[in-house]
Amino acid sequence: MSKILITGVCGFIGSYLAKKLIALNHQIVGIDNLSIGSFLNIKEFENHISFSFYNINILENNDLFILFENYSFDYVFHLAALPRVSYSFIYPQETFNTNVHGTKNMVNISLKFNVKKFVFASSSSVYGIQNDTVLRESHVPNPISPYAKQKYMAEKYIIKKCKDENFSAIILRFFNVYGFSYSVMNEFSTIVPRCIESLINNIGIIIHNGGNQQRDFTYIDDVVNALIRSIEVNSLSFNGTAINVGRGEKHTINYVFEYICKQLNKKLQPTYKKLSYNEPNFTCADITKARRLLKWTPNYSFEEGVNKTIVDCLNREKIVIAMPLHNGAKTIRRAISSFVNQKNIRRKLILVIGNDHSTDEWMKEINDLITENIIIQNIHGGKSYIVRNKINDYILNNIKNVSYIGRLDADDELADEFIISKLEKIMDEIRPDVILAGNYIRTRNKIIKRVNIADKSLLDISCLLGRLRKMSLCVPEAELPSCNTFIKPECMITYPPEESAEDHWFTVELILKSNVLKIHVAENLLYSIYSLSGNLTELNKEKDKYINSRKKLYEYLRDKI
């Protein structure tokens, strides 16, 4: 059993590598500053006895020194980086600091503590534009992007240390690694997962420079095997050598898109856009050296790897939002638009609409917004609490791998296009059983910001009782932010059989369980905008049912404590 350090362990390649090395009975320490990585990627093994995680930035020498002092690492896999060619054009200094200075830090400290072997993840982008159709390690690098130049600078620094100070290292040049990861899908994402996500969600995709450029695509499992082979072989005779890791065949970007369309039975057309910078017309690895020195060969064809990636994408963790229809024909389009426009989400986002047959006019309002991520369930029951419970029962019994269940009514809308991403940050970093956020109110087309804001005093039962007392007297500012709960499925409770204010009862029942549930009150986080219809709302407040339901809830809590 070896002690192994992996930098960038919460990233795509790092997390796959850690999982495989743990299975091989190695002791793994992973570091990541979570700037682009996600805890979701290591969730499967983060509590394994053979794994330890530290939130460390590779630019922080003191933190690295303490880590290396506490562990006698046999091997270091340096995978931490700010990747993507396009990103480096926009943020050249930021990427330079991490990709060059950060790598130098890792090399120097590994040398100081006598690491047996240092494995560096480089990139095929260092080759730049070449005349040959197959890229060999003997080609002189010609990097044309900041990212490629940074990787090549790091390579040269490692090679110099190998020659001058007998540093033991191997450099692996990866060719277009793909596979499933809990990574944010944006304009910097790689083409395979970006195509899959866009097609699953019926979202348009941009393909640059005509799509006829050819790329060598390497499936993640093959890359992990190459990394492991690099520490298993005796590399004394080729110390400091750069080695290509690719499939050894090339496909056009258009073929990638067309193949994924076929597998998902989609007929969408991409949008073509010219890049503002040059890129190679082809990349294809000569993997002769990898076969000879690492005794490694890729196992997955492009089609096999893509098919596996599609399955993994479809089966990933989910956030499910429950939406009762409840006479929402006039407002449901706004609600669903706010759902489909969410950005920077790592999990799969699903909406379950409970069609309680309260209106017949709603489907024509949203036909053009429906995707595979929107499920419509016909529900009979009438009363609000019954409908809410039946939607939750459907989710619990029929949708697998759900991390949290939330709620959005058909007359509400998500506050902004990044709200689910903000909630995911809480889910990943704090990992509560329950998240309670706030909402604003829209009435007569004006947003009122002073009400329904979540604050931690809600977890103090005496403060909660005082709030309910005011609420029973119809003080608007006392209304609980009750529509904004996200709950782990195993912690879900049922809505009580109340005909009015069932959502307030639900929230109070959750808070009463704060001794056994980890409840996080997301202060100042605006989840939704709750729409009230002016005069109707004022009339509702005068109804006995409205007043009595809140009074009854206050008396219930008062008697309980």
What crossing angle do the helices spanning 461-472 and 502-511 adopt, rounded to 10°?
Answer: 170
Q: CA-based angle 120:122:124, to the nearest 5?
A: 155
**CATH placement of domain 318-560:** 3.90.550.10
Whole-number pLDDT of residue 83: 83
Whole-number pLDDT of residue 119: 98
Q: How far apart are CA 176 and CA 83, in angstroms?
A: 12
Query: Residue 79 phi/psi, 5° resolution?
Result: -110, -10
Whole-number pLDDT of residue 185: 61
Whole-number pLDDT of residue 184: 63
Which DSSP letter does residue 140 get? P
Q: How far apart are CA 14 and CA 50, in angstroms?
A: 15
The pairs formed by 311-315 with CB atoms below 8 angstroms and a separation of 24 or more are 312/179, 312/180, 313/180, 313/193, 313/196, 313/197, 313/200, 313/348, 314/200, 314/348, 315/400, 315/401
Give one DSSP letter per residue of 298-345, joined into a string: ----HHHHHHHHHHHHHTS-EEEEEEE-TT-TTTHHHHHHHHHT--S-
Q: What is the residue-level pLDDT of the chain in tens, covering all 561 positions?
A: 899 999 999 999 999 999 999 999 999 999 999 988 889 999 999 999 999 999 999 999 999 999 999 999 999 999 999 988 778 888 889 999 999 999 999 999 999 999 999 999 999 999 999 988 899 999 999 999 999 999 999 999 999 999 999 999 999 999 999 999 987 666 557 889 889 988 887 777 888 889 999 999 999 999 999 999 999 999 889 999 999 999 999 999 999 999 999 999 988 888 898 876 778 888 999 999 999 999 999 999 999 999 999 999 988 899 999 999 887 888 899 999 999 999 888 898 999 999 988 877 788 888 888 877 899 999 887 788 999 999 999 999 999 899 999 999 998 899 999 999 999 999 998 999 999 998 877 766 666 665 677 889 889 999 999 988 988 887 767 778 777 899 999 999 999 998 778 888 999 999 999 999 999 999 888 899 877 654 444 445 555 677 788 888 988 899 887
Residue-range domain boundaries for the chain? 3-178+218-248+289-302, 318-560
Place domain 3-178+218-248+289-302 in its CATH homologous superfamily.
Answer: NAD(P)-binding Rossmann-like Domain (3.40.50.720)
Whole-number pLDDT of residue 561: 78
Residue with tokens 């399955």: 311
Give one DSSP letter per residue of 353-368, joined into a string: EEE-SS-SSSHHHHGG
Q: How far apart are CA 4 and CA 27, in angstroms?
A: 6
What torsion do the CA atoms of 91, 94, 96, 99 make, to the nearest 10 degrees?
A: -110
Cβ neighbours of 497 (radius 10 Å): 11
Q: Which helix (H) or strand (E) holds 293?
A: helix 288-293
